[in-house]
Structure 1
Amino acid sequence: MKRGLFVGLLTLDLIYQTEYLPARNQKMVASDYAVAAGGPATNAAVAFCYLGNAAMVLAAVGVHPITHLILADLQQCGVTVADLSPDCTEPPPVSSILVTEATGERAVVSINAVKTQVTADCIPADCLQGVDIVLIDGHQMEVARAIARQAKSHNIPVVIDGGSWKPGFETVLSLADYAICSANFCPPGCYHEAEVMEYLLNLGITHIAVTRGEQPIHYWNHTQRGELEVPQVKAVDTLGAGDIFHGAFCHAILQQQFVEALEVAARVAAHSCQFFGTRRWMEEDRVDV
């Protein structure tokens, strides 16, 4: 069993499946709903744990009553939490998500970690002890930077979830071993994928991938550039697919080479898209990794 530390955002996700997005001033009844802990690092940790590993999320949680729902869900998933703000009484971030039935596309409203930023001195002692891999989603940048430095000094690989650009990311990216980014990840001054890749390569990152939904993944492996097809499925819900991709990649990269790990992650993420919400995909037959 491998152990992963997942640093970043922890939310409560309220997920509704609807026929279409509501119009202005319209009320509608959802056809299905789910409530789960969420956030990029958190969903990645759940996937990593589901695939047979031990996962810990390092995030700001606090003691607001809502946190009981978050912690209960993660406990059921086998994921532990290291709290960066154990005395905070403010409510944790809550995301409201609408998933369109016909396409599986999602619309998300969230406050993310803007109001729950903490400093590096809040990091619990020994949270890297026994850790085999670290994933950072950029939502707690000062903490992420400190963890990445510690991981680097202990030869623990660091994976970056580059869902979108966040101020200060450059200081963490320079410490990364793997950057797995979405097509929406645009550092300052970068407007095209080629510019993004050049930016990341100039930071010294040797393993880079850009996921593009159902389109092929573009990757750079040292000096090798390639394209990887992803499984084509009928998407019921794309929510969390990128996060699940990252969790599966963390699992696979500890056993396989870069391109093979991307293939595993793509299979797991595609499988998850066939189910509503971020948990039901784990209730079915285990996906082949």
Structure 2
Amino acid sequence: MKKSGLFVGLVTLDLIYLAQSPPQSNQKIVAADYTVAAGGPATNAAVTFSHLGNQATVLGVVGCHPMTQLIKGDLANYKVEIIDLDPNTQNAPPVSSIIVTQATGERAVVSINAVKTQANRESIWPEILQHVDIVLIDGHQMAVGSEIAQIAKARNIPVVIDGGSWKNGFEKVLPFVDYAICSANFHPPNCETEDEVFAYLSGFGICHIAITHGEKPIRYLEDGKAGVIDVPAVQAVDTLGAGDIFHGAFCHHILQESFTTALQQAAHMTSFSCQFFGTRRWMHS
């Protein structure tokens, strides 16, 4: 059955190149391949959620700069709706330039994120969560994300955070979170070990926490019980957006399966996606 997800956060334009290696100082390199797509954690998660047969909406700042047509065209192609928090801004959208190393699939990223495109909570309205089954917040629109999380919690709509890295203000969102899916780079204040991260998040009443480690096993805590989930081994071509795809797949599966099964299914889909260049080609294989 088709579900509806609201994905709150960063919308970028991604310029992705496949090359033998990132350039050294003062060096020019020729890419073997390239692609252009809408990007950002919430955005890529929304595309994945839509690909799995659901209705996905991105809540973020896009605006009306000529470059945004590339973002809008890509998201329309994947049936992802956009609720624009600042539709009249003529500022250029955040652009990420990414170089993927052919031999390893590792990526180097230059990005401006959402630093210059922050929206305030007056940009949203309560009806925004009508008929929404799940919310994901990536922390790049923190004021809006905090407000959305509170409304969702009051309506018993599950809230997922993409904890790719710690962002100031996350502490205002965490009291309303049901599922914290974090990377090994997620370091809340005064947390130096993963056990401290688990304890910190548990202190907010979050009963379902997972920390991913790329191709290495996922550690999780469910209602105080710890466990580990293995990640399928693949020959990675491109790891760009892997975490975003994981979050989108998790949002799909958690609406119909247990926490551990949702993590397993998300890990399988993410590993599969890493065998293809860019953030979209795996969907067409």
The two structures have a TM-score, normalised by structure 2, of: 0.99
Segments of structure 2 that go 5 or more residues without pairing to the other structure are: none
* Matched residue, 1:105: 106
* Matched residue, 2:87: 86
Q: How many angstroms does 1:127 deviate by? A: 1.6
Q: Secondary structure of the equivalent of 2:72?
A: helix
Structure 1 residue 116 and structure 2 residue 117: aligned? yes
Query: Contact 1:215–1:229 at 8 Å: present in 2 too?
Result: yes
* Matched residue, 2:252: 251
Q: How many angstroms does 1:32 deviate by? A: 0.4
CA distance in 1, matches of 2:247, 2:259: 13
Letter paired with 2:168: P
CA distance in 2, matches of 1:30, 1:221: 44
* Matched residue, 1:209: 210
**Divergent runs of 4+, >4 A:** none
Matches within 5 A, 1:139-178: 139-178=140-179
Query: Contact 1:135–1:160 at 8 Å: present in 2 too?
Result: yes
CA distance in 2, matches of 1:254, 1:32: 37
Segments of structure 1 that go 5 or more residues without pairing to the other structure are: 285-289
CA distance in 2, matches of 1:187, 1:64: 35
Q: How many angstroms does 1:224 deviate by? A: 1.1
CA distance in 2, matches of 1:223, 1:162: 19
CA distance in 1, matches of 2:169, 2:24: 37
Query: Contact 1:84–1:124 at 8 Å: present in 2 too?
Result: no
Q: Secondary structure of the equivalent of 1:111?
A: coil
Q: How many angstroms does 1:23 deviate by? A: 0.8
Query: Contact 1:10–1:59 at 8 Å: present in 2 too?
Result: yes
Q: How many angstroms does 1:173 deviate by? A: 1.2
The two structures have a TM-score, normalised by structure 1, of: 0.97
Cα deviations across residues 59-110 of structure 1 (Å, max 9, x unaligned)?
A: 0011100110000000000100000001101001000000000000001110
Q: Secondary structure of the equivalent of 1:126?
A: helix
* Matched residue, 1:262: 263
* Matched residue, 1:280: 281
Count of residue correspondences: 284
Structure 1 residue 25 and structure 2 residue 26: aligned? yes
Q: How many angstroms does 1:252 deviate by? A: 0.1
Q: How many angstroms does 1:20 deviate by? A: 1.0
CA distance in 2, matches of 1:196, 1:277: 31
CA distance in 1, matches of 2:241, 2:33: 17
Letter paired with 2:91: E
CA distance in 1, matches of 2:78, 2:120: 28
Q: How many angstroms does 1:125 deviate by? A: 5.5
**RMSD over aligned Cα atoms:** 0.6
Structure 1 residue 76 and structure 2 residue 60: aligned? no
Q: How many angstroms does 1:223 deviate by? A: 1.6
* Matched residue, 1:181: 182
CA distance in 1, matches of 2:273, 2:99: 17
CA separation of 1:125/1:63 partners in 2, compared to 1, >3 Å: closer, same or farther? farther
Matches within 5 A, 1:12-51: 12-51=13-52
Query: Contact 2:126–2:151 at 8 Å: present in 1 too?
Result: no
* Matched residue, 1:226: 227
Letter paired with 2:83: A
Q: How many angstroms does 1:57 deviate by? A: 0.1
CA distance in 2, matches of 1:216, 1:208: 14
Q: How many angstroms does 1:137 deviate by? A: 0.1
Query: Contact 2:8–2:141 at 8 Å: present in 1 too?
Result: yes
Query: Contact 1:181–1:209 at 8 Å: present in 2 too?
Result: yes
Cα deviations across residues 94-134 of structure 1 (Å, max 9, x unaligned)?
A: 00000000000001110000000110001155221100000
CA distance in 1, matches of 2:82, 2:29: 35
Q: Secondary structure of the equivalent of 2:129?
A: coil
Query: Contact 1:3–1:131 at 8 Å: present in 2 too?
Result: yes
Matches within 5 A, 1:56-71: 56-71=57-72
Q: Secondary structure of the equivalent of 1:147?
A: helix
Query: Contact 1:82–1:124 at 8 Å: present in 2 too?
Result: no
CA distance in 1, matches of 2:218, 2:132: 28
CA distance in 2, matches of 1:124, 1:46: 23
Calculate percent identity across the aligned residue pairs.
Answer: 64
CA distance in 2, matches of 1:153, 1:124: 14
Q: How many angstroms does 1:21 deviate by? A: 1.4
